Every structure is written in C-alpha cells, then in structure tokens.
Amino acid sequence: MRITLAQLDSGTDVGRNLDLIADYCARAAYEGSDLIVFPEYSTYEKSRVDRSFVDMAEPLDGPVASTLCATAARYGIAVVAGLLEAPGDGDGTKEPDRAFNTLVAIGPDGSLLASYRKIHLFDCQGFRESEYIRPAPEPLPVTFSCGGMTFGLMTCYDLRFPELARILADAGAEALLVCSSWVPGTAKTEQWATLAKARAIENGVYVAAVSQTPPVSIGYSMLVDPLGTVLHSLDTEPATATLDLSPDAVLAARDQFPTWRHHRLP
C-alpha cells in the first residue's frame, strides 16, 4: 500500500489549515496514495497550549471533522489528522475547561474509521499540556485497517512509552502512525529519530513519524522500516513524501527477530 507523510506548518487559522490539508490530499491522491498522515494539532496549533485550544474544540461530528471527512471523500484517500475534540456527555466527568487531543482516521469514502484520544500528555520542558488537554479516560490501543494493512495510532509524547507500541503491535498493527508536534530543545531531534527507530525495531513494524514544522516543532518527519532503517526523512519545511509499505517486509522482519514469541514478561 502507498502512504504519504504530510509535514504541515499549522497555525491558528483553522480555515487555512483545512485548505492546506485539502491541497496535500489532492497531491497525495494524484501520486496514487492510499493514506495520508498529518501531524498532531493539524487543524489548530500554536507554540503553547492555552485556553484557546479548549475554545476551538468541537465534537467529532462538528464542522472541522466534517470538513476532513468531505476532503477524504472528495479525493478518495484515507486521512489521519489531529484535531481538538470537545468532551461529550458520555465521557464520564464532563470537563468544559479541557479538550481532548484527538487523532481521527477517515476512510476514502469519508467515513470515520477510528479516533484516538492522546493517552500521555506532555508535561515536560516547562509545558503543561494537561492544564488544557484531558487524557483519554480509558487508555486503550486504537487500530484501523487501510490498503490491506493494519495501523496503530500514537500521538507525539506517546512515542516515549514503548509499552503502547507493543500493545498496538500485539493488537495487529503492522505500522505505527506517530502524529506529532515534537517540541524543540536540546537533543530533541536526535531523540525523535532514535525513538522512532527503536519502536520499529522492537516490534517489527513500520513507523511513520509525522511532525509539525519549526518554529513550533522540529519537522524531520520520517518513515522507518521494520528493521529500523530510515527509508525517507523530510527536512524542516512544509512538504510531503509518498512511499510504499509492504506487509511482506513486516513478516520478514518478524521472522528474523521473533521477539513477540520470545517475550516472557507480563
């Protein structure tokens, strides 16, 4: 199957961000891609998470998600993108002062295939994402199928938690989509690459790590194969890269290193 990594420079203009997403979808569809992957906070982003993130949140049947679904259907391509989801009455304690940092996976017909609420919130480097973002009430793995392969969803800081990647692989994921706005800092670019490669090697999966661009984030979106080789890496500018994934490569890597069979810890 064919995948497109879409490295964005999202800002606070939601209309502009949605237009950029549509332009990238058109480009990916022209290149024959089955799936295009956008970063965390694709539809609204700024250098610090603040009250505006809560104000911009909508339900998954709201205008932003509906526009993403219409874009996917218009170009006949599956879309994964990050948005701000407003809590609903079915979420236990309704918190009007915090939103969910959510990834949606949309099919080429415009249907919602899956949604994933970020589990691990970035309370590091002086940031307090949890002040305005609510973690998933139930930290469950989320996968979906597209183009004959199974994908697992992760968001940014989740990449530092290897147990989530393993749970997704155990749930059938052959590729991990790590949608991010990786905060810059000392050694952060090196950590981004090292962690993406480690998650691929540990689980015998592809890792498509897609990030926002500077100055908010670092860029350097990449596709890592199941043996840990970086097949392609973008620089720091907004850009796309379209590449092919093979289930056979996953099987071959797991045949060489059947860690899933040798694993003995609970």
d(CA 215, CA 236): 9
Q: What is the pLDDT of residue 93?
A: 58
Average pLDDT over residues 118-147: 95
pLDDT band of residue 189 (cuts 50, 70, 90) is very high
The yes-or-no answer on residue 197 being catalytic is no
46 labelled catalytic: no
Out of 69, 85, 118, 129, which one is annotated catalytic? 118
Q: Are 177 and 210 in contact (CB under 8 A)?
A: yes
Domains of the chain, with CATH numbers? Answer: 2-262 (3.60.110.10)
Active site residue 146: no
pLDDT in tens, 205-214: 999 999 999 9
Whole-model pTM: value is: 0.95
From the candidates 45, 156, 179, 197, give the one annotated as an active-site residue. Answer: 156
SS3 call for 177: strand
pLDDT at position 39 is: 98
Neighbours of 34 (CB within 10 A): 20
What pLDDT digit, counting tens, does each position of 218-265 carry? 999 999 999 999 999 999 999 999 999 999 999 999 999 998 788 887
Within 48-174, strands assigned E span 78-85, 99-106, 112-117, 133-134, 143-146, 149-155
